[in-house]
Chain A
Amino acid sequence: MRPEAAERAAALAGVVLVLLMLAPYALGLRGWVLYTYWAAVAVASYAIAWVVSGVWRRGGQA
């Protein structure tokens, strides 16, 4: 995968993930489920950044 394509995909995924941070208001989440949900969304964003930075490290060779 080319770095530019990975970066564009990360941008789109980022928009979705930020919107997912608001989803507990619609889903009615609370308690430790809510705490864990938010942490999981954050971990997902970290995983995406990890994958994209892996593409940089490999010089664009997926």
Chain B
Amino acid sequence: MAARLEASLAVLAAYLVIGTALAVWTRRFLGPRWAAREYYVAGGRMGGFLAAMTYAATTYSAFMIVGLVGFSYFTGVGAEGFELSYFTATMALLAWLSRRAWRLSRERGWVTPSGMLSDLYGSRAVGAVAAALYLVALIPYAAGQLKGIGEALAGLAGGSRGYYEAGIILALAVMLAWSLVAGMWSVAVTDALQGLIMLGAAVGLLAWVWARVAGGAGWHGVTKALESVGLLGLGGHWPLPRFIAFITPWVFFAVTNPQVVQRLYIARDEAALAGMVRGFGFFGILYTILVTLTGLLARAGSTLGILPLKPHGIDSVTPDLIALAHPALTALVFTSIVAAAVSTADSILLTITSTTERDLVPGRESHLRGIAAALAVAAAMAVVAWLRVSYIVALAVTSSVLLLPLAPPTIAALATGKRLPAPTALASILAGTTLNAALIAAWGPKAPLTQAPLHIPAPLLVLTVSTIPLAIPGALKTQPLTPEKHT
């Protein structure tokens, strides 16, 4: 264990040094220092490679290399369909709406997704409601990333509470430093580094599991082993209502999660935007295949007795697996877990800071207000992570359901590209949010994902309720966007 811990800490230290050096180096790209559009969306001057890497690293959190490996291990091939449903819908949404969002962001000077909604609906109230929803949904999600780093470090050190707390402090410091030093520039450049670590570690882990399991038992043996535990079909673990419940919030992730919507504003031109969509797509499909195959092969190896794995839950599959690998691979995968968590958490921090500062508590733009908002949001994340309460996980998995009511008004506004009536957006967001709140009050924090009132999966019901206000006659009556901006 000591060798693994030492190797992991050494690779982690190298990653932190290189990442911090890169973050400081990016200050040279920052234009007029605290101009909001420059700081939060890189002044819309980013190239395709960086835009693609930050979109990918922000999207794919520790959920993939930890959660999806474990999900595939325990629930089988359906986990791949669940994650690729997100991917398929996101490719379509990006192809349909991203150029429109990018073009309007330049014309209208958008900085935040909630500011975008304020502008498209001609009402600050719409942006304020959206910004409040981001806070409720995303602080626990980002706190879950900090908690993941703490748990990973504690796991390497035999479960020590001290290492858990050190992990939280480390994650907090890195997240603040890498997001505040140069805003979107430092986040994007460190995301590029982290994305490469995530892909490299996933390739290394799959190659090792493949060599051990498929190399030992052959592909036929792997298939027989997975068949014997019922993981190659959809029957037991993935009945259709459950599949629909899981994919519904994921299908709309690209238009509901502000940390990815904000990235639609950063490309310097249409070629860079195209590079972002293509690069993200390549990363996404490759990463999904790598982690789901790893989970399936690990389960086959466990069933065949090749890998002595006895994970006690979904999130312990990857830690247990890398504990069997060479210390160098352990260190690389451990660092990739930290990278995946940090790259998502710092992006969320920067986005929530911008939406809180500009749309939730609108006022005069200033450096101090931005820093204060970032520190307040980071402190809230740290407190939630520090408490180590179990419902963080439940809230994290339901965060996208909580944001789901934003999907219909966002899609309607971007699809028309014109001003729509503010009551439409407010009714849509409040209807879905009220239903989510009722579900949580009745059945607990996992309810928006797991319950099926009226035999309809809850996320589908939330989406339907949020869409109804758009069907009211006159609700989508458009007007031209006026020259004045509401950002």
Interface readout for B77-121 with A: 1 if CB under 8 Å, 0 if not?
Answer: 100110011011101111111011000000000000000000000
CA distance A7 to B91 in the complex (A): 11
Residues of B within 8 A of A13 (CB): 92
CB <8 Å contact, B95 and A30: no
Determine the residue in chain A with the shortest Cβ distance to B270: A56
Query: Is A18 in contact with chain B by the CB < 8 A criterion?
Result: yes
The B-contacting residues of A in range 11-26, CB under 8 angstroms, are 11, 13-15, 17-18, 21-22, 24-25
B interface residue count range (under 10 / 10 to 19 / 20 to 34 / 35 or more): 35 or more
- Nearest CB of B to A4, in Å: 9
Query: When A14-B89, A53-B274 are in contact, do A22 and B243 touch as well, CB less than 8 Å?
Result: yes
Residues of A within 8 A of B84 (CB): 21, 38-39, 41-42
CA distance A23 to B483 in the complex (A): 46
CA distance A38 to B97 in the complex (A): 24
- Nearest CB of A to B289, in Å: 7
Residues of A within 8 A of B281 (CB): 46, 49-50
Query: When A53-B278, A59-B270 are in contact, do A34 and B234 touch as well, CB less than 8 Å?
Result: yes
CB <8 Å contact, B289 and A39: yes
Residues of A within 8 A of B85 (CB): 18, 21
Question: For chains A and B in complex, what number of residue pairs have CB atoms within 8 angstroms?
Answer: 116
Query: Is B240 in contact with chain A by the CB < 8 A criterion?
Result: yes
CB <8 Å contact, A56 and B273: yes
Classify the interface of chain A: helix, strand, loop or mixed.
helix
CA distance A7 to B288 in the complex (A): 25
Residues of B within 8 A of A54 (CB): 274
A interface residue count range (under 10 / 10 to 19 / 20 to 34 / 35 or more): 35 or more
Query: When A15-B92, A48-B95 are in contact, do A34 and B77 touch as well, CB less than 8 Å?
Result: yes
Query: When A14-B89, A32-B223, A34-B81 are in contact, do A57 and B233 touch as well, CB less than 8 Å?
Result: no
CB <8 Å contact, B91 and A14: yes
Query: Is B277 in contact with chain A by the CB < 8 A criterion?
Result: yes
CA distance A12 to B223 in the complex (A): 36
Interface readout for B274-306 with A: 1 if CB under 8 Å, 0 if not?
Answer: 100110011001001100000000000000000
Residues of A within 8 A of B476 (CB): none
Residues of A within 8 A of B233 (CB): 30-31, 34
Query: When A30-B232, A31-B232 are in contact, do A49 and B80 touch as well, CB less than 8 Å?
Result: no
CA distance A49 to B275 in the complex (A): 11
Q: Which of B92, B232, B270, B273 contacts A14 (CB 8 A)?
A: B92
- Nearest CB of B to A36, in Å: 10
Query: Is A43 in contact with chain B by the CB < 8 A criterion?
Result: yes
CB <8 Å contact, A46 and B92: no
Query: When A11-B92, A45-B88, A49-B95 are in contact, do A24 and B270 touch as well, CB less than 8 Å?
Result: no
CA distance A43 to B288 in the complex (A): 12
Determine the residue in chain A with the shortest Cβ distance to B102: A56
Residues of B within 8 A of A38 (CB): 80-81, 84
- Nearest CB of A to B13, in Å: 37
Give 5 A-B pairs besides A25-B243, A35-B77 with Cβ atoms closer than 8 angstroms: A6-B95, A25-B234, A34-B81, A38-B84, A48-B92
Q: Which residues of B contact A (CB under 8 A)?
A: 77, 80-81, 84-85, 87-89, 91-97, 99-100, 223, 227, 232-234, 240, 243-244, 247, 251, 270-271, 273-274, 277-278, 281-282, 285, 288-289
Q: Can you name 21 A-B residue pairings with CB atoms under 8 Å?
A: A11-B96, A14-B93, A14-B96, A21-B84, A21-B88, A22-B243, A32-B223, A34-B233, A35-B77, A39-B80, A39-B84, A39-B285, A42-B285, A44-B88, A45-B91, A46-B285, A53-B274, A56-B270, A57-B270, A57-B274, A59-B270
